[in-house]
Amino acid sequence: MRKAVWGVGVLVVIVWCLFAGQYVVLSALGHGWAPDKLGQWGDSFGALNALFGSLGFIGLLATLWMQGDQIEQQKSEGAVARDEQHRQRFESSFFQLLSLMREARDGIKYGSFRGEAAIQQMATILSRSVSVKGAICSIDDQILEIIKEYELSFGYSQNTVGRYCRVFHNILKKIDSDKMLPEAEKNDYARLLRSQLSDDEVSLLGVNGMYLGYLKYKSLVGRYRILKYSSNPHIRSSLEASYGLDAFSSYKH
């Protein structure tokens, strides 16, 4: 299309040059400069004038089409650039939150235990409580029992456990609320988050949701299959009853 436009332009320049040098050209053709002969000779170019007019109009349309195509291309390139910038900002923020979550995990205290050791100890106590009392209870009573044990045993630790759970919750909310990330990428980030959690952390985070009763928290935990690899049988049965089996399944493609 650009070659066609250039061709029209060259043709117009040639015709303009011929017009500028018409005296020399007409003399060479034997027509002289007599007005009556020039008029007759000019009338014979009516079809050629119409052709040039059509070519000019076609050239104008081609130019407008090319400009429109360039504008669309610029818009597309701009959208791709904005999308890439957003992904970079999201990824940077995501990993900063992961770092905060690790710091909050290391700051959890339970008795003389700290960090992951404190979480492991908490999960052990919860599991032991359910295994001792849950055998003779219904599943609803088991849920109440594990919530009660969580409150009695770790209520004074909520200032440190709560911070850890809040950061975790904010990461899930950030993934879920992003309007530019496609669903598949949201699931990928959720898998990455889940890969940072030990089995004891998964149990603690699940029970914390049961204890607080936040529907949004439980909904996000279930939506992104955070509890999928929970392997503690005593705690898992209560989590399954509270969150539903979908929270432990794989993503649907």
Task: Name the average pLDDT for the chain.
Answer: 78
> CB within 8 A of 239, min separation 6: which ones?
203, 206, 207, 210, 227, 230, 247, 248
Residue 66 has pLDDT above 90, yes or no: no
For the whole model, what pTM was predicted? 0.65
The pLDDT of residue 117 is 93
pLDDT band at 248 (very low <50, low <70, confident <90, very high): confident
The pLDDT of residue 176 is 94
Rounded mean pLDDT of 115-129?
86
Min mean pLDDT across 218-222, 224-228, 248-252 is at: 248-252
Q: Please write the tens of the pLDDT for every residue from 15-65.
A: 656 555 565 665 666 655 555 555 555 555 555 566 666 767 777 777 777
- The owner of tokens 């004891």 is 200
Rounded mean pLDDT of 171-196?
93
Three-state secondary structure string covering 33-48: CCHHHHHHHHHCCHHH
The pLDDT of residue 161 is 85
pLDDT band at 195 (very low <50, low <70, confident <90, very high): very high
Residues 200 and 235: their CA atoms lie apart, in Å, by 10
The pLDDT of residue 12 is 60
The pLDDT of residue 70 is 72
Specify whether the CB–CB gap between 103 and 155 falls below 8 A. no
Specify whether the CB–CB gap between 165 and 208 falls below 8 A. yes
Domain extent listing, the chain: 2-76, 90-248
